[in-house]
Structure 1
Amino acid sequence: MKLYAERPVRLIRQIVFDLAVLAWMWTWWRIAHRVNDTADASTVGAKKLETNADSLSGNLSEAGQRLRKVPLVGDTLQSPFDKSAGAAKQISFAGRDMAVGIDDLGDLLGYLTAATPFALAVLVWALLRIPYARKASQAARLRRSAAGREVLALRALQTRGAADLLTVSQRPAAAWREGDEPATQGLADLHLKGLGLRPTAAKSTTTSASTASPAGDDSETVSPS
């Protein structure tokens, strides 16, 4: 499939358009990355909550273990500390879950931020380039044969303006119907030019002349009178 033109002007336009699409996608990728980084920064508070609650749970549990050694009332004193340690542990788990949730949300927001612009860029590129690639590829195949060049000439008659057609022949349609090879060639090249493709290779249609036998000079003998 021919994605790019062969003539410099259209080829440069296509390359510039492709670079613009890539620049658009790169810009939105950077924006999506920034959104993800912002969401990741928001997990700092949740991670601190997880760390502090986990530390508090450990301290309370340790204090309960020490109080348990108090004679007679040790178990009674330990029970509130164990409950508090358990509650602090639950807060630690909640902080961890919150950090994971914020991180996942940041990833999702980053993907959503980039997905729509990416899809739009690919859609616009495909709508413009794929139809051109099909037409250009077909035209490139047709220009290789005389019958194909006649088809290209017909397409030029159907799609090009009168001013362009008159640059090829004063009677372009009639010339094509009559099989005028120079006019057909010119019309085919006109269609190829519109697609940014090189013209067809010029075909010389020289007819071989019939070989004549060498003619000798007829010398008349004059008899003396």
Structure 2
Amino acid sequence: MPLYADLPARRTRQVLADAGCLLVVVAAVAAGRVVHAAVAGVAEPARRFADGSTDLAEGLRSTGGSLGRAPLVGDEVAGLLGRSADSAASLARAAGEQRDAVLHLATVLGLLTALLPVVLVVGVRVVQRSRWAARTRDAHRLAQTAAGERVLALRALQRRPGRVLLDLAPDPATAWLAGEPAVVRSLADLELAALGVRRVTAARR
């Protein structure tokens, strides 16, 4: 499959379009990273709270274990501290779940921000290049026969600007109908040039 046109002007436009597509991809990925970082930053307070609550629960349990050996009130104090530690642990779990939810949202939003433009732009560009490659292969095949050249010439009559056609012949449509070789060849070459294909110098008759 041809990747780029033979003629410099068309090839330059294709290269610039591909470069623009690449820039959009890079920009989209960078934007996705920025969005992810911004949303993930919201989870930082929840993370700090979860870590603090976890440390508090561990400290209360440790203290309760130490005081539990004290006479008379040891069991009572240990039970109170144990319940407080359980409450702190519950708060830590809730904060951790909130943190995880925010981080998941950050990942989803970051991916959407990056992928949507990439899929759209790259998809459109792939379709454009595939269609061009198919038309180019078809034009190369048609240019190999006299009948194919007449088809290319007819396409030129249908697609190219009138001023360009009149530069080839005073009445290009009549000349095409009459099968004038020089005009048919010029019209076919005009259609090839529009695709960026090099001029066919010899076709099989």
Is 1:102 equivalent to 2:96 in the alignment? no
**Long gaps (5+) in structure 1:** 206-225
Q: Retained in 2: the 8 A contact 1:185–1:200?
A: no
1:189 deviates by: 0.3
1:42 deviates by: 3.2
Partner of 1:142 in structure 2?
A: 142
Aligned partners of 2:153 and 2:179: how far apart in 1? 11
Task: Report the CA distance shift for 1:92/1:192 in structure 2 as closer, same or farther (over 3 A).
Answer: same
Partner of 2:56 in structure 1?
A: 56
**Long gaps (5+) in structure 2:** none
**Tell me, what secondary structure is at the counterpart of 1:167?**
helix
Aligned partners of 1:160 and 1:65: how far apart in 2? 91
1:101 deviates by: 1.6
The CA RMSD measured in Å over matched residues stands at 2.2
1:136 deviates by: 2.4
Using structure 1 for the length normalisation, give the TM-score.
0.81
Identity among equivalent positions (%) equals 33
Of 63-72 and 15-24, deviating more is 63-72
Matched to 2:69, the amino acid is: K
> RCO greater where, 1 or 2, for CA within 8 Å and sep 6 or more?
2
Partner of 2:119 in structure 1?
A: 119
Matched to 2:178, the amino acid is: E
Q: Retained in 1: the 8 A contact 2:144–2:204?
A: no
Alignment of 1:152-163 (within 5 A): 152-163=152-163
Partner of 1:39 in structure 2?
A: 39
Using structure 2 for the length normalisation, give the TM-score.
0.88
**Tell me, what secondary structure is at the counterpart of 2:168?**
coil
- The size of the alignment, in residue pairs, is 205
Partner of 2:24 in structure 1?
A: 24
Of 121-130 and 60-69, deviating more is 121-130
Structure number with the higher helix fraction is: 2
1:124 deviates by: 4.0
Matched to 1:18, the amino acid is: D
1:90 deviates by: 1.1
Partner of 1:76 in structure 2?
A: 76
1:106 deviates by: 1.0
Aligned partners of 1:130 and 1:33: how far apart in 2? 31
Aligned partners of 1:129 and 1:150: how far apart in 2? 25
Q: Retained in 2: the 8 A contact 1:3–1:130?
A: no
1:122 deviates by: 2.8
Of 74-83 and 154-163, deviating more is 154-163
Aligned partners of 2:90 and 2:79: how far apart in 1? 17
Aligned partners of 1:155 and 1:185: how far apart in 2? 12
Aligned partners of 2:109 and 2:96: how far apart in 1? 20
Q: Which has the larger radius of gyration?
A: 1
